[in-house]
């Protein structure tokens, strides 16, 4: 399982950039070219996604809501533990005890 970021350019796009690069030998200049293209591509993907959020929400979304949609925070360790607890094969008392302990964190 990989944790690839959703804005990572697909391999075919990277190969296209390598072919388009004026620098045919791997060099710092070529790496700079690739970094610049990747940053531009990522910004374009983010802009498209933000425009879609705006379209779906009638043309306006507050900056806080837009940030929450586009950059959701990963679940806390406590939230992850509570989710695991839901599927743990424990009796009701054990569940309640562990849940109370986690809630106090």
Q: Which residues of 53-70 are buried (b: 16+ CB within 10 A; e: fewer)?
A: eeeeeeeebeeeebeeee
Phi, psi of 2 (to 5 degrees): -110, 155
Neighbours of 32 (CB within 10 A): 11
pLDDT of residue 1: 41
**Residues 22, 14: contact at Cβ < 8 Å?**
no
pLDDT average per 10 residues of sequence, the chain (105 residues): 63 85 83 86 86 84 82 81 80 84 81
Q: Which two tokens stand for residue 25?
A: 């030998």
pLDDT of residue 5: 61
């Amino acid at each position: 399982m990989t944790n690839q970021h959703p804005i990572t350019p697909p391999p075919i796009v990277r190969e296209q950039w390598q072919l388009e690069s004026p620098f045919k030998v791997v060099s710092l200049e070529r790496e700079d070219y690739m970094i610049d293209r990747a940053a531009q591509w990522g910004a374009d993907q983010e802009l498209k996604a933000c425009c879609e959020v705006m379209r779906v929400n009638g043309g306006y979304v507050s900056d806080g809501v837009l940030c929450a949609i586009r950059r959701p925070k990963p679940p806390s360790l406590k939230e992850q533990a509570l989710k695991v607890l839901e599927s743990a094969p424990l009796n009701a008392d054990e569940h309640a005890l562990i849940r109370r302990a986690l809630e106090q964190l």
